[in-house]
Structures are given as structure tokens and as C-alpha cells.
């Protein structure tokens, strides 16, 4: 299976959001308000950010996590060929007001580095094996930059661990 065929499917995420929106008779603005229920008013996810998923190849990772929480689905459920995506170990946590789920890129980097060392690989070899990364992009995860979909799920798949293992609950 080619890399893109195995990637997190942003269009399928859009379709799932739209289907649930229709079933609840919500506008895109109302859906966005619900997705943002835990976020502050300072940086809400816009309805246009959500609707643009149907045409995007990449999306901001923390925003997608909030959409997945709203859908009550793990990222793995949008990964073709990902067995057991409905298992409890993949579930995203419940949040309370003022909390947001974020990617923990330092933890992700630590796991990548551990696996890399275990297998005796260079960062260049890891980048080639995972696909879609340069060695610098991988090592920069240690400094905590944001990461987007579908790339983050390539790393999760390569590590063979649930995506939720590399998230953290932050306070707003």
C-alpha cells in the first residue's frame, strides 16, 4: 500500500463531521462552537478550518484532535488498514472546561529516538522508513513544535503505539 493510501484520511474526517452535523441539524458555525467548547475565545477553530478539510492534504494537529474528541473517535479510526481502531486503548480522554488535548511532541521524539537507537538507525534512515519527513523535522520534535495530520499518524503507526500515548491535556 502506498504511503498516501495508508495516511490519516482528512477527507474521511470531513465526511464524518458533516454526517454528524447533518444528523444533529447543525450549521457549520454551530459545529465549530461545539468543537470549541473547551477552548478559550482567544484561538477558536473556525468553521472554515473544519470545512476546508475536504480539500486539504495537511491539517494542524491540535485542531484535528479537538474535532476527533467531538466525534468521539480516535485518530486510528481514520487510518486505512488500522486494525482494532475501536479498542479502548485508542480512546481519547474526556476533557473538562478549560482543558485542551495537544500533541506531546517531546514524548513523540523520545519514543522515536528510543526506537531508532534500538534498531541501530540514523535519523535519515528513520525519515526514509517513515516517509514524508527529513531528519531535521524528526529531531526538531524534541523542541516541541506543532505537528500536523497526516504526518503525525505516520510516526504513530511506525512506533506501533496508540496516538493517545503521545498526547497531553493542557490547561487554557
Q: What is the pLDDT of residues 112-131, one digit of tens each?
A: 999 999 999 999 999 999 99
Q: Is the predicted pLDDT of residue 1 greater than 50, yes or no? A: no
pTM of the model: 0.91
At 64-103, the pLDDT tens digits run 999 999 999 999 999 988 777 888 899 999 888 888 899 9
Question: Do the Cβ atoms of 149 and 61 come closer than 8 Å?
Answer: yes
DSSP 171: E
The cell numbers describing 32, all together, are 465549530
Check whether 40 has a pLDDT greater than 90: no
Residue 45: which residues within 8 A CB-CB, separation 6 or more?
32, 35, 36, 39, 63, 66, 67
Per the listing, cell 454551530 goes with 30
99-103 and 167-171: which strand pairing?
antiparallel
Are 103 and 152 contacting, i.e. CB atoms less than 8 angstroms apart?
Answer: yes
Amino acid at each position: 500500500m502506498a504511503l498516501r493510501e495508508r495516511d490519516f484520511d482528512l477527507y474521511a474526517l470531513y465526511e464524518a463531521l458533516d454526517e454528524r452535523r447533518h444528523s444533529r441539524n447543525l450549521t457549520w458555525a454551530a459545529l465549530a462552537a461545539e468543537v470549541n467548547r473547551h477552548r478559550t475565545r482567544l484561538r477558536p477553530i473556525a468553521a472554515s478550518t473544519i470545512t476546508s478539510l475536504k480539500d486539504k492534504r495537511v491539517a494542524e494537529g491540535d485542531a484535528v484532535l479537538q474535532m476527533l474528541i467531538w466525534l468521539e473517535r480516535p485518530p486510528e479510526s481514520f487510518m486505512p488498514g488500522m486494525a482494532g481502531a475501536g479498542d479502548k486503548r485508542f480512546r481519547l480522554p474526556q476533557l473538562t472546561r478549560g482543558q485542551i488535548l495537544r500533541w506531546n511532541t517531546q514524548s513523540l521524539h523520545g519514543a522515536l529516538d528510543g526506537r531508532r537507537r534500538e534498531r541501530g538507525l540514523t535519523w535519515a534512515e528513520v525519515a526514509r522508513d517513515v516517509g514524508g519527513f527529513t531528519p531535521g523535522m524528526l529531531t526538531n520534535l524534541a523542541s516541541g513544535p506543532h505537528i500536523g495530520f497526516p504526518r503525525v499518524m505516520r510516526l504513530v503507526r511506525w512506533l506501533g503505539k496508540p496516538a493517545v500515548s503521545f498526547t497531553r491535556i493542557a490547561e487554557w
